[in-house]
């Protein structure tokens, strides 16, 4: 069975931060103002990347690396 990455670009950013708090540092590092944002529950990863001019593929890879932790496998 193929591995399905935990991050779906259609997931709301708020859900990602709640499920995996380690991703908050990635969001901050990219200058995204998603923490506490009233539309964070509706704004998807794709939306946030588009709004902030961040490359989605790289951003998702960084989120997944943060979820995996320091000893986990890094995507890409």
Cite the DSSP H helix spans in 1-76: 13-19, 24-29, 45-52, 56-68
**H or E element, residue 31:** none
Indicate yes or no: pTM above 0.85. Answer: no
For residue 46, the model assigns a pLDDT of: 95
Structural domain for 48, as ranges? 16-68
- Considering the domain boundaries, does residue 76 fall inside one? no
- Considering the domain boundaries, does residue 39 fall inside one? yes
Number of domains in the chain: 1
- Considering the domain boundaries, does residue 38 fall inside one? yes
Mean pLDDT of the chain: 85
- Considering the domain boundaries, does residue 73 fall inside one? no
For residue 47, the model assigns a pLDDT of: 95
Residue 70: pLDDT band with limits 50, 70, 90: confident
- Considering the domain boundaries, does residue 11 fall inside one? no
Residue 67: pLDDT band with limits 50, 70, 90: very high
- Considering the domain boundaries, does residue 10 fall inside one? no
**Burial bucket for residue 27 (CB in 10 Å: 0-12, 13-18, 19+):** buried
- Considering the domain boundaries, does residue 3 fall inside one? no
- Considering the domain boundaries, does residue 34 fall inside one? yes
């Amino acid at each position: 069975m193929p591995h399905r990455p935990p991050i779906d670009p259609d997931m709301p950013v708020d859900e990602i931060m709640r499920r995996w708090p380690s991703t908050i540092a990635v969001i901050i590092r990219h200058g995204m103002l998603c923490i506490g944002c009233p539309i964070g529950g509706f704004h998807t990863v794709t939306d946030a990347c588009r709004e902030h001019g961040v490359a989605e593929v790289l951003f998702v890879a960084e989120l997944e690396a943060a979820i995996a932790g320091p000893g986990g496998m890094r995507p890409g």
